[in-house]
């Protein structure tokens, strides 16, 4: 299984996300690998539920870890995060949520081939759709990751 390195501490995580993803998110802190490096949620964007903001940040972190910071031949595509569990925690008067996600992805070059195969074969009688998706499933990398969020300012 491929090992992905944790992201380096950023002096301004909000600015980095804005520059990289053109997303203006009300956050501070760090990448959430531990309570000490929690992603600090400073507000909820208009109309965005807490779980959606947390999912968005975890997805951004996964894209940075698995795609953007990787050498071209080690990049992943079709990156998805799905929540497995969450746990409320308190420390020194601050409220945290430890959220565990299942992150799935496929090597970018292989995913591109799968998409081409699908586009070329779809709606052709000879195309075995079930076999195609079984190959994609077999090529999918699955990781379990934990993301810590400090949520004291929004609850």
pLDDT at 29: 96
Q: Is the pLDDT of residue 104 over 60?
A: yes
Total count of residues recorded for the chain: 155
In a domain, 5, yes or no: no
Residue 1 lies in a domain: no
Over 90: is that where the pLDDT of 76 sits? yes
Q: What integer best gives the mean pLDDT of the chain?
A: 94
Q: Report pLDDT for 155.
A: 87
Can you give the pTM of this predicted structure? 0.91
Range of the domain at 105: 13-150
Domain count within the chain: 1
List the beta strands (DSSP E) in the chain: 27-29, 39-41, 76-91, 94-107, 141-150
Instruction: Give the mean pLDDT of 81-89.
Output: 98
What mean pLDDT do residues 39-48 have?
93
């Amino acid at each position: 299984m491929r090992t992905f390195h944790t992201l380096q501490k950023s002096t301004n995580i909000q600015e980095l996300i804005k520059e990289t993803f053109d997303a203006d998110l009300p956050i501070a802190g760090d990448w959430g690998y531990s309570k000490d490096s929690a992603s600090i949620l400073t507000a909820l964007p208009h109309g965005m539920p807490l779980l959606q903001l947390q999912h968005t940040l975890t997805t951004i972190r996964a894209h940075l870890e698995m795609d953007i910071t990787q050498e071209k031949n080690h990049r992943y595509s079709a990156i998805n995060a799905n929540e497995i569990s969450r746990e409320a925690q308190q420390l020194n008067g601050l409220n945290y949520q430890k959220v565990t996600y299942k992150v799935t992805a496929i090597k970018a070059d292989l995913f591109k081939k799968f998409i081409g195969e699908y586009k070329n074969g779809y709606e052709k009688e000879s195309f075995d759709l079930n076999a195609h998706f079984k190959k994609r499933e077999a090529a999918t990398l699955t990781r379990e990751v934990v993301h810590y969020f400090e949520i004291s300012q929004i609850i």
